[in-house]
Amino acid sequence: MEGGLGERYWAQLKHEALLRGRTKSDEDGSSMYFVFKLSHMGPAFSVLGFGYVCSTIVLIAECLHKLFSK
């Protein structure tokens, strides 16, 4: 009980009861929550990939500049 296990169990129990007691009006899509899928991360990964490509090009350009400037 000192570690908070009782409170955690009680919170999970209340959460499950809340989910089971949902009404049909919440299931028609009017809820403000949605399922977060990997497809939602697609734009972030594409920006990350674009940044990697740009930084690699700049690194190669800097190495070539240092090589030929001597």
Instruction: Locate the domains of the chain by residue range.
Output: 5-26+35-69
CA 44 to chain centre: 9
pTM of the model: 0.49
* DSSP tally for the chain: helices H, then strands E: 2, 0
pLDDT band of residue 27 (cuts 50, 70, 90) is low
Per-residue pLDDT reduced to its tens digit, 40-64 = 899 999 999 999 999 999 999 999 9
What is the reported pLDDT for 18? Answer: 82
Per-residue DSSP letter, 61: H
- Mean pLDDT across the chain, nearest whole number? 83
Proportion of the chain above pLDDT 70, given as a percent: 79
15: Cα within 13 Å, side-chain hemisphere? 6
